[in-house]
A = this chain, B = another copy of it.
Amino acid sequence: MRMGEGVEWALHTCVNLAWLGRAVPVAKLAALHDLPAAYLNKQLQALARAGIVTSVRGPGGGFQLARRPEKITLMDVVSAIEGSANAFQCTEIRRQGAGREDPANYRKPCSVSQAMRTAELAWRRELAGQTVADVKADAERTIPDMAARLDFWLTNTRD
């Protein structure tokens, strides 16, 4: 069970967008961390479909956060990239074979599924409890001038 690296890219990019506070083309966002621009674009499209960022086409366009960083949870970003389906998917094997249960029990989920779901809910709750603003604030504790550095770089860099 491995999470796609698109999640890492998306999170860092969201923090960067929070620092920059305006529309930034994907080429610039990719250059910030030496990422393949076309593939990062794919991830940002997913964020756009989820309403986390908005896209503006044409010159001067790019991506920017759709709402304030305090209103974007890590759960929002993760489910936008990875999908909202549960990591553990019950295939109901309890209904097959010699050890199958009585169909009367099919209404409630099986014990295994329930246990796994409980753990996954704890994970989701933790992700929903942290926002992009929190991560940004934590990063600024060690790198206070990052916002200014990025802003300077964006305005003064030529392509």
Contact = CB atoms under 8 A, between A and B. Distances in A.
Interface residues of A, number: 65
A7, A83, A110, A157: most-surrounded residue (chain B CB, <10 A): A110
A119 B126 contact: yes
A6 to B, nearest CB: 10
Interface stretch (A43-51, A54-62, A63-71, A95-103): A95-103
Q: By DSSP majority rule, is chain A's interface helix, strand, loop, or mixed?
A: helix
Interface of A: 1-5, 7-9, 11-12, 15-16, 30-35, 74, 82-83, 85, 87-91, 93-94, 96-102, 105, 108, 110-112, 114-116, 118-120, 122-123, 125-127, 130, 134-136, 138-139, 142-143, 146, 149-150, 153, 157
